[in-house]
Structure 1
Amino acid sequence: MIGEQSVSGRYRARADAFEAKVAAVLPDQWDNPSPCARWTALEVVDHVIDMHGVMVGHAIARTEDPLTDFREARRVVEDALVSRASEEVSTPGGSMTLEEHVDQVVSDDLVLHGWDLARATGQDETIPAADVERLWATATAVPAELMHRFRTPGAFGPGVEVYGPEVPVPAAAPLQDRLLGYVGRDPLSKSL
């Protein structure tokens, strides 16, 4: 079960799922709008790649192929999880290990942005139940004061918005839909 995996194992499972979604994007779908305001499907993948670089402290080399670029970003993070996992890093949330930072940021991003990419390109939008439960517990445990910062564009740097404004979702909706609404996506709208 993903919730019981090591940080590296959880990252690998999530990266596998995200990579499969990137590989399935058709050439004419890269410009499709995504659920992330102002981002296309390609810009979602670019963001994920950029965040991988942020985690390891340097930019990821780019080609003309998003799949090749994601695979390189993934390789760099996986290498860092082996060689630098216990290294202390400074983050907006305070000091933590590189492993903790990868787990709390880029690994979770793979899940949420995987949904964004799936929605933008007509792929299966199902998030594994263990990931939904883990991300729901994490997101709803954030204190209101910090959640306000998470929802404020630019609070963590230029152009950075951790979560969008909450989208109302019925309390009886599946947990995946409630999670997506909580972090600023509209799971009830039709696929893009």
Structure 2
Amino acid sequence: MSEVAERYTRIAAGFTARVEGLAPDQWSSPTPCSEWAVRDLVVHVVETHWRMIALVDGTDPDRADLGGDLVQQWRQARDAVTEALGDPARATKVVRGLFGEQPFEELVSGLLCGDTLIHTWDLARATGQDERLDPGAVAACAAFLAPLDERMRSPGGFGPKITPAPDADEQTRLLNFCGRVV
């Protein structure tokens, strides 16, 4: 298993734990993403995964079934990415994404891992669950996002960064960089 596949697996496990930890009345709870409730956030993560799979398979992306079981849809999307990363031909296939052409595995390493990791914290914060993130994933996400800085703050992206306290840990620094108040 590649480093990217291992890191993705850890990040996805963290998101899975938070999704499976949701109480039935928490799906409409607000999240740190001001325009999204918990349901919207989970739908976003599921559909982002389906968009990545569509890129590598050359198909139209699936849409989340808003009236369906979003926990099960998350598991299916996660498993599809895991399967693609485990297939050397698909993992190395060059796809066209937000950042130009790159191997699928690189797209997962940066965009999908980063998106899922940050939204894991958002979901945990919104629902009172464990907010700790995988330290290795935090470091990789920070390295991926740092050069994007202002480009990632466009409408629909991250909000303005927050200056962290001088003694802030790496997770807090990443979340503040992404506009999250910790």
TM bin (shorter chain): 0.7 to 0.9
Q: Which residue of 2 aligns with 1:170?
A: 165
Query: Is residue 121 from structure 1 mapped to residue 127 from structure 2 by the alignment?
Result: yes
Per-residue CA deviation, residues 121-163 of structure 1 (Å, 9 max, x unaligned), is 00010112222222223322x0xxx42221011xxxxxx42x2
Corresponding residue SS for 2:168: coil
Q: Is the 1:60–1:72 contact (alpha carbons within 8 Å) kept by the matching residues of 2?
A: no
Instruction: Give the distance between the partners of 1:61 and 1:101, measured in 2 at CA.
Output: 21
- 1:7 deviates by 1.3
Instruction: Give the distance between the partners of 2:93 and 2:104, measured in 1 at CA.
Output: 6
Query: Is residue 37 from structure 1 mapped to residue 40 from structure 2 by the alignment?
Result: no
Instruction: Give the distance between the partners of 1:13 and 1:68, measured in 2 at CA.
Output: 18
Unaligned runs of 5+ in 2: 55-60
Instruction: Give the distance between the partners of 1:174 and 1:103, measured in 2 at CA.
Output: 22
- 1:14 deviates by 1.2
Indicate the RMSD between aligned Cα atoms, in angstroms.
1.8
- 1:5 deviates by 5.8
Q: Which residue of 2 aligns with 1:91?
A: 97
Corresponding residue SS for 2:101: strand
Name the TM-score, length of structure 1 as normaliser: 0.83
- 1:92 deviates by 2.2
Q: Which residue of 1 aligns with 2:58?
A: none
The structure with more helix, counted as a fraction of residues = 2
Name the TM-score, length of structure 2 as normaliser: 0.87
From 139, 159, 164, the equivalent of 1:133 is: 139
From 9, 15, 36, the equivalent of 2:6 is: 9
Query: Is residue 23 from structure 1 mapped to residue 20 from structure 2 by the alignment?
Result: yes
Q: Is the 1:60–1:73 contact (alpha carbons within 8 Å) kept by the matching residues of 2?
A: no
**Structure 1 counterpart of 2:173, which letter?**
R
Instruction: Give the distance between the partners of 1:39 and 1:24, measured in 2 at CA.
Output: 18
Q: Which residue of 1 aligns with 2:178?
A: 183
**Structure 2 counterpart of 1:148, which letter?**
E
Corresponding residue SS for 2:91: coil
Greater shift after overlay, 59-68 or 30-39? 59-68
Unaligned runs of 5+ in 1: 154-159, 188-192
Instruction: Give the distance between the partners of 2:63 and 2:108, measured in 1 at CA.
Output: 15
- 1:168 deviates by 2.6
Q: Which residue of 2 aligns with 1:76?
A: 80
Q: Is the 2:22–2:127 contact (alpha carbons within 8 Å) kept by the matching residues of 1?
A: yes
- 1:61 deviates by 5.3
**Structure 2 counterpart of 1:56, which letter?**
I
**Structure 2 counterpart of 1:59, which letter?**
D
User: How many pairs does the alignment contain?
Assistant: 173
Q: Is the 1:7–1:99 contact (alpha carbons within 8 Å) kept by the matching residues of 2?
A: yes
- 1:180 deviates by 0.4
Q: Percent identity?
A: 36
**Structure 2 counterpart of 1:72, which letter?**
Q
Instruction: Give the distance between the partners of 1:136 and 1:40, measured in 2 at CA.
Output: 25
